[in-house]
Amino acid sequence: MFKKVLVANRGEIAVRIIRACRDLGIKTVAVFSEADRQGLHTAMADEGVCLAGFRPVDTYLNMEKILRAARETDSQAIHPGYGYLAENDNFAARCKEEGLIFIGPEPQSIRLAGNKLAAKERAAAAGVPVIPGSMRGVVSRDEVLAIAGETGYPVIIKASAGGGGRGMRVCLDPGELKEEFSVARAEAGAAFGDDTLYIEKYLQNPRHIEFQILGDKSGRIVHLGERECSVQRRYQKLLEESPSPALDDELREKMGGAALKVAGSIDYFNAGTVEFILDEKKNFYFMEINSRIQVEHPVTEMVTGIDLVKEQIRLSMGEPLACDYSSAHKKGWAIECRINAEDPENSFLPSPGTIECYRPPGGYGVRLDTHVYQGYEIPPYYDSLLAKLIAWGPDRKSAMGVMSRALQEFVIEPVKTTIPLHRKILADKLFEEGYFDTGFVKKFIPEEEDED
Amino acid sequence: MAESPKRLEVRAPIAGVFYRKPSPEDPPYVEVGDTVKKKQVLCLLETMKVFQKIKSPADGKVVEIVAKNEEPVADNGVLMILEVN
């Protein structure tokens, strides 16, 4: 077992990782920016190293500062969490050079997963359905127009180096495609340092379904079922659940098998997620593979009884997989609500500030992953995620009952949060019946004006 | 006869990081002495990874840029001072 792990992150995920380490008897080192001196992760870890500065580029994104902290504290491994350096293949490689274990996939798998077009090519070659479109980078407008003519409109332009909703543009007709293509190219170049674009047929309001996978050093890969992530706003997930009300055993087996093929095609090791979109006719298509622990991992944990962060640590020490989907003790239904410091009534504008009143929910079936507390000052420099509220019940209806109750109990004031929006979603008839897609949230929020 | 100019403070609507330029390679949105129109973009404010354009509340002239580029500003902190008629 590792003696000491450095946690290269902040917020709720850093707290989550510190807890897993502590459960396993591993000492932890927190790194913290000057704005996070009062952070819960800073207080909870056995040791702490301050990274000078407050901006992400000077702190949680700064590889050399983090590696130095690991050396100085004699850490054996680094857990990157999600975001920041989690999907940076250079960082994974640098850890290796320094003799540190990076708790995550191998650098070459991270690189392949990060190149959306390369991952799509591998998935297609492995026999997994992909969304029709250009199967390679497109350079000229004529080429793009010809391909769009074949797939049919609307189409979506994507940046190969993008992801998470960034660098995407939907075009309804050839005129729009002509206009948007060159702008998208310039934007991708500026944002990602790689202007490779590809196009796909745009599926309107599909469902977003993802599969949790785990791989060990021997090359064995298993999945742990799906997460339903269709409740989104502008590609940002708001609420997730497991299992999905849209899947039956037959479809789950097909999609799970496809997820394993995709992961196998890039020799995946450790925890990851294969994302698919699912249309109304239950056709599914591979979208992307995320080479990290996901924000929404707790819903899988609640229904499989497997602590995914502990599994990540165990697997990175070379231990073999202990179970797969069929042998996991699957039980019940879990829902997660992301509580962000954002104002849903005002274009989701961020809402930093001091939490003057904090009353967390509790009781049977409630899990709360958070780094906030009474009196905590939310710094304006980082992510707006304050807490993940997870409810469990023996079936979907009971899980919804627990979540509705927990949302009623939860008070975070005076900052604006997504709690009121989640209350509305949980009270919705269509949500209750399981009929929703990625366009679902729109009806709960005031229409947004596009202004420049 | 024209009224004497009034000083108008442009304040941060929320806490964040102040940026004078759209990107490090670009020139600043405005300099001291520039004449600005109402709704013209004066600067950017980044809060929790979201960028907001801060627009001029009136026609006028920039007389002082109080906040420092790429430095934090508090909620309601003064960003710039304009002179308006």
> Tens digits of per-residue pLDDT, A393-424?
999 999 999 999 999 999 999 999 999 999 99
Alpha carbons A157 and A150: distance in angstroms, whole number: 15
Judge contact between A289 and A274, C-beta under 8 A: yes
CA distances from B66 to A46, A201, A292, A320, B31 (A): 41, 49, 41, 59, 12
Instruction: For residue B85, give how far its alpha carbon lies from the nearest alpha carbon of chain A (Å).
Output: 26
User: What confidence tens digit (pLDDT) does each residue in A270-306 have?
Assistant: 999 999 999 999 999 999 999 999 999 999 999 999 9
The pLDDT of residue A448: 63
Do B50 and A349 make contact, defined as CB atoms within 8 angstroms?
A: yes
Instruction: For residue A234, give how far its alpha carbon lies from the nearest alpha carbon of chain B (Å).
Output: 13
Which contacts (CB < 8 Å, 24+ apart) does range A39-46 have?
A39/A10, A39/A11, A39/A14, A39/A371, A40/A15, A40/A371, A40/A372, A40/A373, A40/A376, A41/A7, A41/A9, A41/A10, A41/A11, A41/A14, A41/A15, A41/A371, A44/A15, A44/A18, A44/A19, A45/A7, A45/A18, A46/A4
CA distances from A287 to A203, A273, A284 (A): 12, 11, 9
User: Which of B48, B51, B53, B70 is most worth mutating to test chain A (most A CB atoms within 10 A of its CB)?
Assistant: B48
Going by pLDDT thresholds of 50, 70 and 90, the confidence category of residue A452 is very low
> Phi and psi at residue A20, in whole multiples of 5°?
-60, -40
Do B16 and A380 make contact, defined as CB atoms within 8 angstroms?
A: yes
Q: Which residue has the tokens 């009121």?
A: A420
Look at residue A235 and tell me whether its pLDDT is greater than 70: yes
Instruction: For residue B24, give how far its alpha carbon lies from the nearest alpha carbon of chain A (Å).
Output: 11
β A197-201/A169-171 pair status? unpaired
* Count of alpha carbons within 13 angstroms of residue A120, beta-carbon side: 23
Residue A27's DSSP bridge partners are A4
* Chain A to chain B Cβ contacts (< 8 Å): 41
In chain A, residues with a C-beta closer than 8 Å to the C-beta of B52 are 349
Going by pLDDT thresholds of 50, 70 and 90, the confidence category of residue A164 is low
- A8 CB-near residues (< 8 Å, 6+ apart): A31, A60, A66, A78, A79, A80, A81, A84, A85
* Chain B residues 17-46 with a CB less than 8 Å from chain A: 17, 23
In chain A, residues with a C-beta closer than 8 Å to the C-beta of B47 are 349-350, 352, 380
CA-nearest residue of chain B to A352? B15
Does B8 touch chain A if contact means CB atoms closer than 8 Å?
no
Do A380 and B23 make contact, defined as CB atoms within 8 angstroms?
A: no
The pLDDT of residue B2: 56
Going by pLDDT thresholds of 50, 70 and 90, the confidence category of residue A328 is confident
Instruction: For residue A312, give how far its alpha carbon lies from the nearest alpha carbon of chain B (Å).
Output: 28
Instruction: For residue A111, give how far its alpha carbon lies from the nearest alpha carbon of chain B (Å).
Output: 24
The pLDDT of residue A451: 47
Do B72 and A380 make contact, defined as CB atoms within 8 angstroms?
A: yes
In chain B, residues with a C-beta closer than 8 Å to the C-beta of A380 are 14-17, 47-48, 72
Q: What percent of chain A has pLDDT over 90?
A: 84
The pLDDT of residue B8: 95
Lowest mean pLDDT among A218-227, A343-352, B32-41: A343-352
The pLDDT of residue A163: 66
Does B1 touch chain A if contact means CB atoms closer than 8 Å?
no
Q: What percent of chain A has pLDDT over 70?
A: 98
Lowest mean pLDDT among A12-16, A138-142, B35-39: A138-142
CA-nearest residue of chain A to B70? A55
Question: What DSSP string describes A358-383?
Answer: EE---STTEEEEE---TT-EE-TTS-
Question: Taking all residues of chain A, what is their mean pLDDT, rounded to a whole number?
Answer: 94
Q: Please state, as a whole number, how many other Cβ atoms lie within 10 Å of the Cβ of residue A4.
A: 17
Does A382 touch chain B if contact means CB atoms closer than 8 Å?
yes
* Count of alpha carbons within 13 angstroms of residue B50, beta-carbon side: 19
| Among A55, A352, A452, beta carbon nearest to B48 | A352
Residue A171's DSSP bridge partners are A155
Look at residue A450 and tell me whether its pLDDT is greater than 60: no
Do B50 and A55 make contact, defined as CB atoms within 8 angstroms?
A: no
Q: Active site residue: A207, A292, A314, A338, which one?
A: A292
Q: Which residue has the tokens 């196998």?
A: A264
Look at residue B64 and tell me whether its pLDDT is greater than 60: yes
The DSSP symbol for A163 reads B
In chain B, residues with a C-beta closer than 8 Å to the C-beta of A353 are 15, 75
Q: What is the mean pLDDT of residues A249-278?
A: 96
Q: What is the mean pLDDT of residues B23-39?
A: 93
Instruction: For residue A55, give how far its alpha carbon lies from the nearest alpha carbon of chain B (Å).
Output: 9
CA-nearest residue of chain B to A353? B15
The pLDDT of residue A183: 83
Does A202 touch chain B if contact means CB atoms closer than 8 Å?
no
Judge contact between A198 and A117, C-beta under 8 A: yes
Lowest mean pLDDT among A19-23, A44-48, A74-78, B72-76: B72-76
> What tokens appear for A377 in the block?
């000052």
Judge contact between A380 and A352, C-beta under 8 A: yes
Do B72 and A351 make contact, defined as CB atoms within 8 angstroms?
A: no
In angstroms and rounded to an integer, the radius of gyration of the C-alpha atoms of chain B is: 13
Lowest mean pLDDT among A170-174, A444-448, B47-51: A444-448
Q: Which residue has the tokens 């819960």?
A: A40
In chain A, residues with a C-beta closer than 8 Å to the C-beta of B23 are 190
Does B76 touch chain A if contact means CB atoms closer than 8 Å?
no
Q: What is the mean pLDDT of residues A214-241?
A: 95
Alpha carbons B57 and B14: distance in angstroms, whole number: 16
Alpha carbons B15 and B47: distance in angstroms, whole number: 7
Judge contact between A147 and A171, C-beta under 8 A: no
User: Which of A34, A55, A61, A346 is most worth mutating to test chain B (most B CB atoms within 10 A of its CB)?
Assistant: A55
Q: Measure the CA dihedral A239/A243/A248/A250, to 10°.
A: 120
Does B70 touch chain A if contact means CB atoms closer than 8 Å?
yes
In angstroms and rounded to an integer, the radius of gyration of the C-alpha atoms of chain A is: 21
Q: What is the mean pLDDT of residues A112-130?
A: 93
Alpha carbons A402 and A396: distance in angstroms, whole number: 10
- A307 CB-near residues (< 8 Å, 6+ apart): A20, A23, A301
Does B48 touch chain A if contact means CB atoms closer than 8 Å?
yes
Active-site residue, A292 included: yes
Give the ipTM of the model, two decimals please.
0.81
